[in-house]
Structure 1
Amino acid sequence: MSKYLAELLGTFLIVLTVAGAGHMVFLLGADETVGLAAIAGAVGLVLFVAISMFQSISGAHFNPVVTIAFGIRRQIDLKTGFVYVAMQLLGAFLGAVVANLMFGVYAVAAGTVQRLTTQTFVGEIVATAGLLLIVLLLVDQEKLSLIAPSIGAWVAAGHLFTSSTSFANPAVTFGRAFTDAVTGINFASVPGFVIGQLIGAGVALTLFYFLSTKKEQNV
């Protein structure tokens, strides 16, 4: 059970941070530039901490596209992968609920920000492809100690250079639909974001096939 709990807690921390930071920058009246930088920094740092804590327990997926990619490569069995995704979704939902409660709003509040456009769809493809490719290549190269800082840095930077602010995670996208913080997302935008993320995962797997330093024996 420890690996399932680790997946729940890791995803919980990510959504707690992004939703909580969204509430905080609104409460402080921060302008958009300062607010975006603050949220990017907070999420990047928490990703570094969460991956560092839980990597040796569950692999620190915290993201259905990572779990699916490992399943496709037969590095995780179907049952474990299914429970991982379920725990990630539950953790994301709970993260939004606790963030809302911390800032004195309704525990469950529908996201109000309409985010889906052609530009943000492309942004999610880029953000997700980059994130998954980093994970796959560092695992392939046996540089596991670099995953936490690399993913933290990628997601923090993605907040600033992608049009979508780098959700790059179907579970996190789902969780952010349950908060009306400025970092939330309207339910109507969720399916489009998830489709973009799945396309990004496909791009990453394709690139990894050509970049891998090892023979692909499990694909």
Structure 2
Amino acid sequence: MIFDLKRRLAAEALGTALLVGTVVGSGIMADALSGDDAVSLLGNTIPTGAILFVLITILGPVSGAHFNPAVTLVFALRREIAVGAALAYLAAQVGGGVAGSLIAHAMFDLPIVQMSTKIRTGGPQWLAETVATFGLVATILGGLRFRPAAIPALVGLYITAAYWFTASTSFANPAVAIARALSDTFAGIRPVDVPAFVLAECGGALLALALIGWLLSPQETE
């Protein structure tokens, strides 16, 4: 079944909004319920992995469930989505992500429009985002090659793990980074820190495209 571009864009916007709403909302809830950063991070991690499984399962058949400009970039370079559609996906993802942050604030009776003051910068953070996005794209490409039906679980589990093994807590998504800059909460990131995160994320995605693309394309041997 093929869905038209309007429905695909709606799915991308809705999925990214629900993803960011989950990340920001669960961060607010976890921070309110616990003064322990480790417990708060766990309370942020589990809902994020769970919602990714749900969103990819129900919206993947409509739009491919990218919810992430770095993922869309990879598919555009693989010529699996047209450039015009890819740009429209990017706009839908960013717009949906911003809406998700604003809705999360409204649900918790916080100022709807905010600017984050949470510092996330420096070489280790940028390396972490490169690694996080590399792993995400590798997971998607490997899943597509060997176990397409398992992709919702694979992505959800990967992000759940990456929250804990990366210094940045694995944004791995330019749209999410932009949206989280508009939330001065547990999940936030200063707007000034976003461009470096986005560059690191795109770099990790491109590295995965090159390396995993080569790894998963064996030569015929005689």
Q: TM-score under structure 1 normalisation? A: 0.95
Aligned to 1:49: 54
2:127 is equivalent to residue 136 of structure 1: no
Q: Deviations over 1:8-34 (max 9, x none)?
A: 011111100111011112221341111
1:1-219 matches, cutoff 5 A: 1-141=6-146, 143-213=147-217
Summarize the Cα distance change of 1:138–1:214 in structure 2 as closer, same or farther, 3 Å threshold.
farther
Deviates most, 18-27 or 159-168: 18-27
Structure 1 window deviating more from structure 2 (174-183 vs 27-36): it is 27-36
Asked if the contact 1:132/1:201 (under 8 Å) is kept, the reply is yes
Deviating beyond 2 angstroms after TM superposition, the runs of 4 or more aligned structure 1 residues are none
Q: Secondary structure at the match of 2:131?
A: helix
Contact preservation (8 Å) 2:9, 2:89: yes
Q: Percent identity?
A: 38
Note if contact 2:130-2:200 (Cα within 8 Å) is conserved in structure 1. Answer: yes
Would the aligned equivalents of 1:64 and 1:169 in 2 still touch at CA under 8 Å? yes
Structure 1 unpaired stretches of 5+: none
Are the equivalent residues in 2 in contact too, given 1:133–1:204 (CA < 8 A)?
Answer: yes
Amino acid of the structure 2 residue aligned with 1:19: V
* C-alpha contact 2:116 2:185 (8 A) present in aligned 1: yes
- One-letter identity of the residue aligned with 2:69: P
Q: Which runs of 5+ in 2 are unaligned?
A: 1-5
1-structure distance, mates of 2:188, 2:116: 5
Q: When the two structures are aligned, how many residues end up with a matched partner? A: 214
How far 1:213 sits from its partner (Å)? 3.9
Give the partner amino acid of 1:26.
Answer: D
**Given that residues 10 and 60 in structure 1 are in contact (C-alpha distance below 8 angstroms), is that contact kept between their aligned partners in structure 2?**
yes
| TM-score of the aligned structures, taking structure 2 as reference length | 0.93
1:117: Cα distance to partner?
1.4
Q: CA deviation at 1:108?
A: 1.1
For 2:67 and 2:133, locate their aligned partners in 1 and report how far apart those are by CA, in whole Å: 13
Does structure 1 conserve the Cα–Cα contact (< 8 Å) formed by 2:143 and 2:154?
no
Say whether the 8 Å CA contact 1:126–1:200 is kept in structure 2: yes
RMSD: 1.2
